[in-house]
Amino acid sequence: MYSDDNLIYIFTILESIEKINLYTKDLADDEEFYYANNQMNFNAVVSLLIAIGEENKKIDQQIKDDYTFNWNDISKMRDKISHNYRGINPYMVWDIIKNSLGEYQNILREILPKIDQYEEALDDALNSNFYAHLEYLKDKK
């Protein structure tokens, strides 16, 4: 079992992924994504990717050692976006959304039941407005 300190980080990442999926679900490609709603969708997703990368850095190293994934790439993505905001390539962001977030989400969902106090923490999280998009995790309990 892993420390329950990881729950808040993983819940925040999963909530961010769900919001990204919501903000991009009706968009066909990177260009439409970039210009949609006067770039509001793009800007929201970029902010969420920064949050994902920051929370990713806080996940225990033991979890990262036990699960094969490009953990460092997620953190590097955050740093690249944060420090080069004007140079963010919409295609790169779109590629992350379409080709990386799903696998990352699946790994995190696999980890959750192995964290101490998971079920209690999920119930608490679902009672808050911040984690409203994590209802699907109840089915995995």
Contact indicator for 31, 90 with CB cutoff of 8 Å: yes
User: Which of the four pLDDT bands, split at 50, 70 and 90, describes residue 139?
Assistant: confident
pLDDT score for 125 = 95
pLDDT score for 82 = 86
Per DSSP, 27 falls in state: -
pLDDT score for 86 = 74
pLDDT score for 140 = 59
* pTM for this entry: 0.94
pLDDT score for 80 = 84
- Kindly tell me the burial class for residue 16, based on how many C-beta atoms sit within 10 Å of its own C-beta (0-12, 13-18, 19 or more): buried
Whether the pLDDT of residue 114 is over 90: the answer is yes
14: enclosing H helix or E strand: helix 5-24
pLDDT score for 55 = 97
State mean pLDDT over 115-133.
95
CA–CA distance, 99 with 97 (Å, rounded to integer): 6
74-112 confidence digits (pLDDT tens):
988 888 888 876 788 999 999 999 999 999 999 999 999
Helix (H) and strand (E) counts in the chain: 8, 0
Residue matched to tokens 């990881």: 6
Beta bridge partners of 50: none
Of 50, 44, 108, the closest CA to residue 75 belongs to 50
14-64 confidence digits (pLDDT tens):
999 999 999 999 999 999 999 999 999 999 999 999 999 999 999 999 999
